[in-house]
Amino acid sequence: MKSSSKWGNDVVNDKLKDVRLSVIDERIRDVKNVIAVSSGKGGVGKSLVASALSLSLARRGYGVGLFDLDLTSPSTHIILDVKDAQPIEDRGIVPPKIHGISYMSITYYSRDKPTPLRGRDFSNALIELMAITRWGTLDFLIIDMPPGISDATLDIIGLIKRSKFLIITTPSKLAFETVKKLIKLLSDLHIEIIGIIENMKIKESDFIKVNADKLGVKYLGEVNFDENLEDALGDVDKFSNTEFFKRIDGIVEELLKALAFEAQ
């Protein structure tokens, strides 16, 4: 049995949570498309794709935000070389612009310290970050998601019901097996799936395309393994000239079509 005072605290916490939940809707009211870059497992290229996608859309003249919500392993700040930027406090937090992208990450606060959050604390940190961030008017808010169908993923799905999912997989059966579960979950929850990108391809195979078709999910395209990518991380000019970036830039055309959003 919980003590009455502890129970009382929980009621207060739940009320506070409710207030923040309604604030989250308000914070993304003027965002046209929320795209969650997701996967069945880690290490498949979500952060790379989310970063390249954000840069590509921003260069096309769209209003773009990038929200790094992989709170335990944030990495987009390294890819985009976010060093000295700081969010501005103004009735919440206004994300600074990095390479034309409104950029928000827990690393503004945690720096390079680990963020070992569990269960309820994790949900609280997530809700807090979502509730304080003022995105303003955007065409696209790209979310770099935590991997798989963890608590964190379920929290984000519940908190931002308008998210449309872009799924990243490698050519491996092992990665696709986990993707199938994610697709099943999203379908059961009636959440829109924009399509699948097959990343780090090293040889011809139609395994992912055939299986995406079977599941009725659009195959947006493949991206080859790019051995020059590692050297380009943290240098946005170099990154924009990689085969990886060029390929994602091409897939953006497909994505805009899939979203029926007029290319500029």
Ligand X SMILES: Nc1ncnc2c1ncn2[C@@H]1O[C@H](COP(=O)(O)OP(=O)(O)O)[C@@H](O)[C@H]1O
Q: Which residues bind ligand X (CB under 6 A)?
A: 39, 42-48, 75, 199-200, 223, 225-226, 229-230, 244
Site string for Mg ion, 73-92 (x = CB under 5 A): --x-----------------
User: What is the smallest separation between the CB atom of 209 and ligand X, expressed in angstroms?
Assistant: 17
User: What is the smallest separation between the CB atom of 246 and ligand X, expressed in angstroms?
Assistant: 11
Nearest position to Mg ion, beta carbon: 47
Count of residues near Mg ion by CB under 5 A: 4
Q: Which is nearer to ligand X, 178 or 199 (CB)?
A: 199
E strand intervals along the chain: 31-38, 64-68, 88-89, 93-94, 97-98, 101-105, 138-144, 164-169, 193-201, 219-224
User: What is the smallest separation between the CB atom of 35 and Mg ion, expressed in angstroms?
Assistant: 15
Candidate segments 26-34, 72-80, 195-203, 244-252, binder of Mg ion by CB under 5 A: 72-80
Q: Which is nearer to Mg ion, 70 or 155 (CB)?
A: 70
Which parts of 189-242 fold into alpha helices (H)? 207-214, 229-232, 236-240
Contact between 47 and Mg ion per CB under 5 A: yes
**Cα gap 22→25, rounded to integer Å:** 5
Q: Which is nearer to ligand X, 27 or 247 (CB)?
A: 247
Nearby residues of 189 by Cβ (< 8 Å), 6 or more positions away: 157
SS3 223: strand
Backbone angles phi, psi at 208, to 5 degrees: -70, -45
User: 79 and 45 in contact (C-beta within 8 Å)?
Assistant: no
**Cα gap 117→89, rounded to integer Å:** 24
Q: Which is nearer to ligand X, 28 or 229 (CB)?
A: 229
Which residues of the shown chain bind Mg ion in the complex (CB under 5 A)? Answer: 46-47, 70, 75
